[in-house]
């Protein structure tokens, strides 16, 4: 994710979707909006066809508003239960079968055998490491990688790209270009771990939320409200690190760590924190200073406040009371 890397973009012409559930259908619609032809494989053709048609119906108005490719055609797709024919001439194969290692390995191995060795094969797995996924790919495991999206796939731009032991750097480069061609923002993960990066964060929050419900501290509705009306408002502009950099006042992250570092020892979650060593502190401070790009805290606050003011005006039109939905506080 070097700033100096030229951001190459390649729009894939033919995208094969393997497994047409919520995620697979999301990928299909994103590819259609980018002007690609889509072939979706699913063992249950009728259900997949109905689900994909429904996803296109739901998503297309939003995608039109976002801006379609000139050659985008919402009807440029078919569903088949013949995996070989689905993937044979694709530029990019996106695998989205259920999250079971043996099943994914079997399907990826089949795709590996049914495609030319330079066809890129991305897996939507939420948590499995790419090296494990590619273990059964005897033909060309170097083009197998994780490309983990977020629901709804046709709107959220993030895709985590994770290479395994056999994946080549060239494949990671081309993969980034292809997902950029689908209008996405690829985040290359440096090291393969279960859950990659984003799902580790979300899973930590999710597990803590389950504890809170389980311990009778709050309902699902209250926990959701605790996110939506507070930290959730900041998280589409700034992640936790830059947020805490600003919370530290004029001295930023270093002051924040002095003030709240000791809280890492307190039972504020059921998760044990790492030791705040000098090395870790330096990496956090330097990371935040880099992210600040020479801007003062006051300049960053100004930008944040302008965003939050616009966002509040927008989101108030959607919050539960606007439609008499539960969840307002």
Residue selected from 8, 46, 66, 82 as contacting its own copies according to rule CB under 8 A:
66
Of 37, 105, 222, 296, which lies in the binding site for its own copies, with binding defined by CB under 8 A? Answer: 222
Q: Which is nearer to its own copies, 58 or 117 (CB)?
A: 58
Contact 287, 217 (CB under 8 A): no
Query: Who's near 122: CB < 8 A, 6+ residues apart?
Result: 92, 93, 94, 95, 145, 146, 147, 161, 175, 179
CB of 89 to its own copies, least distance (A): 29
Residue 137 CA to residue 53 CA, distance in Å, equals: 32
- CB-wise, 137 or 284, nearer to its own copies? 284
Per CB under 8 A, the list member of 43, 232, 265, 296 interacting with its own copies is: 232
301 is an interface residue for its own copies by CB under 8 A: yes
Please list every residue from 1 through 20 that binds its own copies, using CB under 8 A.
1, 3
Which listed residue (238, 252, 278, 296) binds its own copies by CB under 8 A?
A: 238
Instruction: Give the count of alpha carbons within 13 A of 279, CB side only.
Output: 2
Cβ atoms of 63 and 35 within 8 Å: the answer is no
Among 84, 116, 165, 211, binds its own copies (CB under 8 A): 211
Q: How far is the CB of 119 from its own copies (least distance, A)?
A: 25
Listed ranges 31-39, 76-84, 132-140, 271-279: which one lies at the site for its own copies (CB under 8 A): 271-279
Work out which of 11, 53, 177, 237 binds its own copies, going by CB under 8 A. 237
Question: DSSP of 77-117, one letter per residue?
Answer: EEEES-HHHHHTT-SEEEE---S-HHHHHHHHHHHHHHS-T
Site for its own copies in 151-180 (CB under 8 A): 151-152, 155-158, 160
**What residues between 77 and 96 interact with its own copies by CB under 8 A?**
none
Q: How far is CA 225 from the centre of its chain?
A: 23
Q: Round to whole Å and give the CA distance between 288 and 85.
A: 49
Candidates 9-17, 116-124, 138-146, 204-212; binding stretch for its own copies (CB under 8 A): 204-212
# chain residues binding its own copies, by CB under 8 A: 134
Interaction between residue 202 and its own copies (CB under 8 A):
yes
Is there binding between residue 103 and its own copies (CB under 8 A)? Answer: no
Q: Taking contact as CB under 8 A, which single stretch among the options 37-45, 83-91, 111-119, 293-301 is the one that binds its own copies? A: 293-301
70 or 266: CB nearest its own copies: 266
What whole-number distance in Å separates Cα of residue 281 and Cα of residue 261?
Answer: 10
Please report where in the chains the tokens 């977020």 appear, as a residue. 150
329 counts as binding its own copies under rule CB under 8 A? yes
What is the per-residue DSSP string for 27-88? HHHHHHHTT-EEEEE-SSHHHHHHHHHHHHHHHHHHHHHH---TT--TT-EEEES-HHHHHT
Whichever of 11 and 276 has its CB closer to its own copies, that residue is 276
Stretch that binds its own copies, among 35-43, 77-85, 134-142, 263-271 (CB under 8 A): 263-271
HEC readout, 191-210? CCCCCCCHHHHHHHHHHHHH
Pairing of strands 144-148, 77-80: unpaired
The number of CA neighbours under 13 Å toward the Cβ of 234 is 19
For the CB of residue 283, give the shortest distance to its own copies in the complex, in Å: 6
Footprint on residues 126-145 left by its own copies (CB under 8 A): 126-127
């Amino acid at each position: 994710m070097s700033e100096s890397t030229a951001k190459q973009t390649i729009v894939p012409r033919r995208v094969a979707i393997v497994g047409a559930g919520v995620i697979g259908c999301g990928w299909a619609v994103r590819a259609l909006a980018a002007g690609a032809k889509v072939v979706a494989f699913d063992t249950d053709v009728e259900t997949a066809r109905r689900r994909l048609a429904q996803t296109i119906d739901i998503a297309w108005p939003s995608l039109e508003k976002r801006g379609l490719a000139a050659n985008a055609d919402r009807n440029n797709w078919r569903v088949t239960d013949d995996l070989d024919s689905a993937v044979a001439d694709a530029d990019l194969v996106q695998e989205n079968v259920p999250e079971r290692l043996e099943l994914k390995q079997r399907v990826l191995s089949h795709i590996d055998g049914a495609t030319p060795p330079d066809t890129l094969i991305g897996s939507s797995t939420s948590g499995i490491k790419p090296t494990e996924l590619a273990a059964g790919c005897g033909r060309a495991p170097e083009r197998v990688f994780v490309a983990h999206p977020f629901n709804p796939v046709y709107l959220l731009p993030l895709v985590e790209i994770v290479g395994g032991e056999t994946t080549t750097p060239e494949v990671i480069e081309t993969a980034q270009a292809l997902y950029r061609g689908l209008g996405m923002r690829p985040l290359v993960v440096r090291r393969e771990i279960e859950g990659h990066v984003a799902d580790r964060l979300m899973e930590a929050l999710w597990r803590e939320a389950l504890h809170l419900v389980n311990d009778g501290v709050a309902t699902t509705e209250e926990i959701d409200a605790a996110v939506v009306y507070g930290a959730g408002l900041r998280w589409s502009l700034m992640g936790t690190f830059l947020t805490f950099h600003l919370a530290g006042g004029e001295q930023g992250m270093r002051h924040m760590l002095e003030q709240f570092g000791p809280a890492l020892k307190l039972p504020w979650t059921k998760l044990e924190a790492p030791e705040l060593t000098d090395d870790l502190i330096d990496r956090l401070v330097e990371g935040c200073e880099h992210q600040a790009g020479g801007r003062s805290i006051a300049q960053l606050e100004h930008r944040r406040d302008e965003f939050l003011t616009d966002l509040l005006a927008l989101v108030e039109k959607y919050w539960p009371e606007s439609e008499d939905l539960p969840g307002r506080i």
